[in-house]
Structure 1
Amino acid sequence: MTFGEPEGYDEQARPVPLAARLRSRTTVAAVCVVLGFGLIGGAATGSWLTGGSGDDGAPDTFAAAAELWHSIPVDQLFPPTVQGTGAGPGGADRTWTRIAVAPDSGCQNAFDPLLHKVLAPAGCRRLLRATYTDATRSYVTTVGLLFTKADAAAMSALDARFRKEGLDRRADLMPRPYAAKDTLAAAFGDKQRASWTVSVLTDTPVVVFAVSGWADGRTVDTPQPAADATQSGATTDPAQAGLGNEAQGLSDRIERAFRKTADAATEEPS
């Protein structure tokens, strides 16, 4: 996919040492070459630090990624089938099938109130969600891409806060599922949430999240964050059922696909 990364200056190009027998004749030329590379490197590095590439017309890949929600086909953002090689408990393979795609919308009612409050400073440009089931049709998982209005500094600050305060592990900061009518996820409501993950990206203005539960609509008294439910030796019901792996595995692959798509979409033409 998800979710373009800005390219840095490649400093591998360096003046090639001259042979000893030519050194006396080419000292001045070598100095000029070194100075030339230094000037070029300084210009390119300065361009990288300001988000450009040295060309006045070069696109800002961070800003460009914010607009991808309306230009990328839904089947690229949320493929009909997602392969999860090694994504299950013990490295088992997983296959997820998409059963519903939510209409693109704002963020109202998509998150628990406190999570909505935490994400509010980043703004909500668009929210895209889809719900999947596993190959056995035992579990359902909603995965989402929140396109924010934040700049790179704001996304980095939000990510730092999540990490510092452990916000991705708090049960009162869970994303809500998309329970599409007349599907296997029709009964997938707030009380059915078993495991979840939230990832704040810093190279694109996107937050990736997923929340999983049983497909039979059973309630869960103590949901567990995917980061804990996937730990070796975890004994909770969500962990034993592999629901942490469902949320984390699907979220990871949707994020990877988005990054790949964003890189291609914002790549500067040659």
Structure 2
Amino acid sequence: MAPRTVAAAACLVLGLGLIGGALTGSWLTGDGEDGAAATAFTTAGTLWHSVPVDELFPPTVQGTGAGPGGADRSWTRIAVAPDTGCAHAFDPLLHTALAPVGCRRLLRATYTDATQSYVTTVGLLFTKADPAGMSALAARFRDEHLDRRADLMPRPYAAPRTAAAGFGAAQRASWTISVLTDAPVVAFAVSGWADGRTVDAPQPAADAVRSGATTAPAQAGLGNEAQGLADRIERRLRTTVGTATEKSS
């Protein structure tokens, strides 16, 4: 075999060995996209005790384009619920639906809009589930439309001596529930009028924000209140997860 051919063959063998070693190392150490996703998932599950409440639920939240017709909104936090478990935080059927992923911690805060006409409780349920468990729950909520059932609404946090003091189960007007698959978290929000009026026909936010919706919650923009605030709190959670993951790596 010519010397040049022998050298080329040796380089090929060496190159394949290096590639194989790199891939094996990636599998063993969890490098790559799968490893990064697993790290982020694990990191997200610890945020309930390692991140200040102002970072997850800031005192004010800006909602550019979040209102009806693309109007800007802003929300002011008026209360933070005590750091507790999930007992009595959900209606019985919703509690049962969420049971497969468990409850590690539940964080909630209640906000009001700039006019103090509406109140919205937003929450982050930190679960005990692994990625497969969260994916299974997300699939069930999606396939069975559990996020649109009025008997599966989250309960509000009615803080005494605030604009939300009268915000009880009968005052719920619109809501949204999001089962995350990249974090062991279920994010939700539920909105109502600040004057304590009861609502006979609450409507899921996904329907209330649609163009042409004529229900009372839709006309008042309560779907936008729930969806807009929940979206922004969820985005903050993901940003916080990204920052925490970078620091731990």
Q: Structure 1 length normalisation: TM-score?
A: 0.83
The verdict on how the C-alpha distance between 1:134 and 1:26 changes in structure 2, with shifts beyond 3 A counting, is: farther
Within 5 Å, which residues of 2 pair with 1:1-270?
A: 27-28=8-9, 29=11, 32-33=14-15, 36-41=18-23, 43-44=25-26, 47=30, 52=35, 60-267=39-246, 269=248
When the two structures are superposed, what TM-score results if normalisation uses the length of structure 2?
Answer: 0.90
Partners of 1:96 and 1:268 in 2: CA distance: 30
Counterpart-to-counterpart distance in 2, 1:66 and 1:158: 16
- Cα distance 1:38–1:251, how it changes in 2: closer, same or farther (>3 A)? same
* 1:66-107 Cα shifts (integer Å, max 9, x gaps): 121011001001000000011111111110000000011011
What SS is found at the alignment partner of 2:141? Answer: helix
Shift of residue 263, structure 1, vs aligned partner: 1.5
Offset of 1:109 from its aligned partner?
A: 1.2
Q: Which runs of 5+ in 1 are unaligned?
A: 1-22, 54-58
Shift in Å, 1:63: 2.4
Distance (Å, rounded) in 1 between the aligned partners of 2:159 and 2:103 = 22
Instruction: Write the letter of the residue equivalent to 2:68.
Output: P
Task: Give secondary structure in 1 for the equivalent of 2:240.
Answer: helix
RMSD: 2.3
Distance in 1, Cα, partners of 2:208 & 2:19? 51
C-alpha separation in 2, matches of 1:260 and 1:25: 53
CA spacing shift, 1:48–1:171, aligned 2, 3 Å: farther
How far the C-alpha of 1:121 sits from its partner, in A, is 1.2
In structure 2, list runs of 5 or more residues that go unmatched.
none
Q: How far is the alpha carbon of 1:49 from its aligned partner?
A: 8.7
Residue 267 of structure 1 aligns to a residue whose secondary structure is: helix
Instruction: Give the CA deviation at 1:48.
Output: 5.3
- Greater relative contact order (Cα 8 A, min sep 6): structure 1 or 2? 1
> Could you say which structure has the higher helix fraction?
2
Identity across matched positions, percent: 71
- Matched residue SS, 2:159: coil
